[in-house]
Structure 1
Amino acid sequence: MTSEQATPQRSYHHGNLRRAILTAALEVIRTDGPTGLSLRDLARRAGVSHAAPAHHFKDRAGLLTAIAAEGFDLLAVALADAPDLRERGVRYVRFGVEHPAHFQVMFRPELLRGDDAELGVARERAGA
């Protein structure tokens, strides 16, 4: 039996673990909201040890902060070059519809590390 056959439950395949965890977290948030998020569950979904998510994000707040920062970066791109206030409003609403998991986390400061530099920069970029 090869090592691949011995561990068929593993879905993560030595790619970008950080991205795999973020993607799994976004799926959970989309269906269960941010309060349904567990690093242990995400590790299980990604097929990695329960300590692996903590290596990248330290804790749940770190993961949610990374999701919020990514959301603000995506929002900045969505709003870029909008010709007027009406179009910015349309793009903002479209962003919320297309990225519901990001949106649920971005405006929940009690879930985030407010002093995170990456989050601060992303917020400023979206605000500009």
Structure 2
Amino acid sequence: MAKSSYHHGDLRATILAAAAEQIAADGVDAISLRGLARRAEVSHAAPAHHFGDRAGLLTALAIEGFDLLAEEMNAAADDFHAAAIAYIRFALHHPGHFDVMYRRDLINADDPRLVQARSRSGAALRSGAAANQPDPSEKGQLATQLAAWSLVHGFAVLWREGALEQSPLNSESDPETLARAMIATVRFD
């Protein structure tokens, strides 16, 4: 039941946390502003006040996700292997965020805050890949950066979707151990 008065600590953060938790458990289709209001025990209008609509909520969650990813990736500096593991670790530990971050059909993809957050988060992976690329041309750098992103994103999705569970390619029960072994095979020359 919703509370009759609006006295909540940080309602915006509470709703975002509830959304991430629900998406991780039930998928993005289960998200509604009314449902999140019930979970936060606030009026049904409170989430709309903060986010406008469902796309606004999911955009805010994606921005938060890209900011969290940037924090983890920035710790890797120019080390591609560390950045790659940070990306995979983020995807596995923040599934509610990860599930909406790249879904242009669910978010306001042209939101300037989202564009900025996405750019910050990708900088560490791009930097790590570029630092190890022997082809200094712009085309070579872009190809390497795309390959690096595809590698880590693809691994994260395969692991999260369970595709590697019964695969003969999977020799580990720990995704980070398997990811480290895979990433160690990457050569840039």
| TMscore range, shorter length | 0.7 to 0.9
Greater shift in the superposed pair: 46-55 or 81-90: 81-90
TM-score scaled by structure 1? 0.87
Where does residue 58 of structure 1 map in the other structure? 52
Deviations 1:65-123 (A, max 9, x none): 00000000111110114141111111110111111111111011110001211101101
- Aligned partner of 1:32 among 26, 30, 33: 26
Is residue 119 of structure 1 aligned with residue 114 of structure 2? yes
What's the C-alpha RMSD, in Å, of the aligned pairs? Answer: 1.6
Moved over 2 A (4+): none
* Deviation of the 1:13 alpha carbon: 4.9
> What amino acid is aligned across from residue 9 of structure 2 in structure 1?
G
Deviations 1:35-91 (A, max 9, x none): 110100111111111111000000000000000000001111101141411111111
How far apart, in 2, do the equivalents of 1:78 and 1:43 lie? 30
> What amino acid is aligned across from residue 117 of structure 1 in structure 2?
P
TM-score scaled by structure 2? 0.60
> What amino acid is aligned across from residue 107 of structure 2 in structure 1?
L
Is residue 21 of structure 1 aligned with residue 21 of structure 2? no
How far apart, in 1, do the equivalents of 2:92 and 2:11 lie? 26
Paired residues, what number?
A: 120
> What amino acid is aligned across from residue 46 of structure 2 in structure 1?
A
Deviations 1:1-57 (A, max 9, x none): xxxxxx8x74x8521111111111111101111111010011111111111100000
How far apart, in 1, do the equivalents of 2:88 and 2:102 lie? 14
Flag the structure with higher helix content: 1
What is the percent sequence identity of the aligned residues?
Answer: 57
Where does residue 95 of structure 2 map in the other structure? 100
How far apart, in 2, do the equivalents of 1:38 and 1:107 lie? 19
Contiguous gaps of at least 5 residues in structure 2 = 124-189
Is residue 75 of structure 1 aligned with residue 79 of structure 2? no
